[in-house]
Amino acid sequence: MTRQIKYFIWIWFIAALIATAILLPSPILAQNFSVAPAEVKIENLSPGDEAEFELTIYNKDNISHTFILTAYNPEKSQRRPGRAELPDDGWINFSPQEVEVAASSDAKVKVEVAIPSNQEWAGKIWEIWLRVAPKDKDFLAVNYYIRLLVSTSGEVRSVSDIGLFAGIIAVLLLLGCGVYYFRCKTKPK
């Protein structure tokens, strides 16, 4: 083949690609939304306790979109140094897990983090990502990831400890009332 024919074929190929991109509908749909905050830190959460915060999803498009929220454990190379994978993504609860956001508006989603009451979860530092993705995935879609950094305190709070404490207070109050009643009854008039 001569050099001129090669150039002609390349020019024809590039022109065909440009024409295709301009004339045919694009299979790529850019999602016009954002999420805030980009990172959430929960520090010194006692195992047995829970924490909650809000995510805001901003829909900047002129039509409404539905978004799905899930938890995602990133690979070790993607996590911050020294942070382990959250042992159970079931400790994260979204309310609601699927949200429709009207055109040019925003919606809030409540996120709860509940660490089970177990000594093995005390004194840990974890990282998990919260994924916000459009429900409609007919086209190439953008997913947003929010870093959730969780650290637990060294003490475990359990429901039984709270019940025991409440029981002791109730017994002391009853004893105090009994002593007062009998002192008043035996007092001469």
Which percentage of the chain shows pLDDT scores above 90? 52
Number of Cβ atoms within 10 Å of the Cβ of 59 = 24
94-109: per-residue pLDDT in tens?
999 999 999 999 999 9
Exposure of 98 in the CB half-sphere (CA atoms within 13 A): 5
Domain boundaries, the chain: 30-167
Dihedral angle of Cα 154, 159, 162, 168, to the nearest 10 degrees: -130
Q: Given pLDDT bands bounded at 50, 70 and 90, which one contains residue 156?
A: low
Position of tokens 């008043």?
184
The pLDDT of residue 26: 39
- From 104, 30, 5, 123, select the one nearest 61 (Cα to Cα): 104
Tell me the pTM: 0.65
Average pLDDT taken over every residue of the chain? 82
Place of tokens 């498009």: 61
Q: What's the whole-number mean pLDDT along residues 110-133? A: 93
Question: For residues 85 and 188, which has the higher predicted lDDT (pLDDT)?
Answer: 85
Three-state DSSP class for residue 169? helix
Cβ atoms of residues 69 and 99 within 8 Å: yes
Confidence label for 189 from pLDDT (cuts 50, 70 and 90): low
Topology annotation, domain 30-167: Immunoglobulin-like (2.60.40)
Neighbours of 41 (CB within 10 A): 11
Q: What letter represents residue 72's amino acid?
A: Y
3-state DSSP call for residue 6? helix
Question: Does pLDDT of 132 surpass 70?
Answer: yes
Mean pLDDT for the stretch of residues 111-135: 93
